[in-house]
Amino acid sequence: MKKKQIDQIFTIWQKENPHPKTELNFVNNYTLLVAVVLSAQSTDIGVNKATKALFAKVDTAQKMLDLGEEKLKKYISTIGLYNGKARNVIALSETLVKKFNGEVPENIDDLQSLAGVGRKTANVVLNCAFNHATIGVDTHVFRLANRIGFVDEPNVLKTELALVKAIPKKWQQHAHHWMILHGRYICVARKPKCHECNIFKLCEFKNKTST
Ligand code: SF4
Phi–psi pair at 162, nearest 5 degrees: -70, -35
State how far the Cα of 111 lies from the Cα of 37, in Å rounded to an integer.
11
When the pLDDT of each residue in the chain is averaged and rounded to a whole number, the result is 96
Q: Is 100 in the pocket of ligand 1 (CB under 6 A)?
A: no
Helix, strand, or coil here: 79? coil
pLDDT in tens, 106-118: 999 999 999 999 9
Q: How many CA atoms lie within 13 A of 160 on its CB side?
A: 16
The predicted model gives 153-172 an average pLDDT of 97
Burial group, residue 59, by CB count within 10 angstroms (0-12, 13-18, 19+): middle
Q: Is 195 in the pocket of ligand 1 (CB under 6 A)?
A: no
Ligand 1: nearest atom to the Cα of 186 = 7
The predicted model gives 27-32 an average pLDDT of 98
Q: Which residues are catalytic?
A: 120, 138
Q: What percentage of the chain has pLDDT greater than the value 90?
A: 98
Q: How confident is the model at residue 126 (pLDDT cuts 50, 70, 90)?
A: very high
pLDDT in tens, 41-92: 899 999 999 999 999 999 999 999 999 999 999 999 999 999 999 999 999 9
pLDDT at 184 over 80: yes
Predicted local distance difference test score (pLDDT) of residue 210? 77
State how far the Cα of 55 lies from the Cα of 24, in Å rounded to an integer.
12
Pocket test for ligand 1, best of 5, 203, 204 (most atoms within 8 A of CB): 203
Phi–psi pair at 24, nearest 5 degrees: -80, 140
- Nearest 5°: the CA angle 141, 106, 170 is 50
pLDDT at 211 over 70: no
Pocket test for ligand 1, best of 5, 10, 185, 187 (most atoms within 8 A of CB): 187
Distance 182 CA to ligand 1 centre (A): 9
Burial group, residue 161, by CB count within 10 angstroms (0-12, 13-18, 19+): middle
Predicted local distance difference test score (pLDDT) of residue 192? 96
Q: Is 199 in the pocket of ligand 1 (CB under 6 A)?
A: yes
pTM over 0.85: yes
Q: Check if the beta carbon of residue 48 is closer than 8 Å to that of residue 25.
A: yes
Q: What percentage of the chain has pLDDT greater than the value 70?
A: 100
Q: Is 202 in the pocket of ligand 1 (CB under 6 A)?
A: no
Work out whether the CA dihedral 49, 55, 58, 60 comes out positive or negative.
positive
Range list of H helices, 58-204: 61-67, 69-76, 82-100, 108-112, 119-130, 139-148, 156-166, 169-185
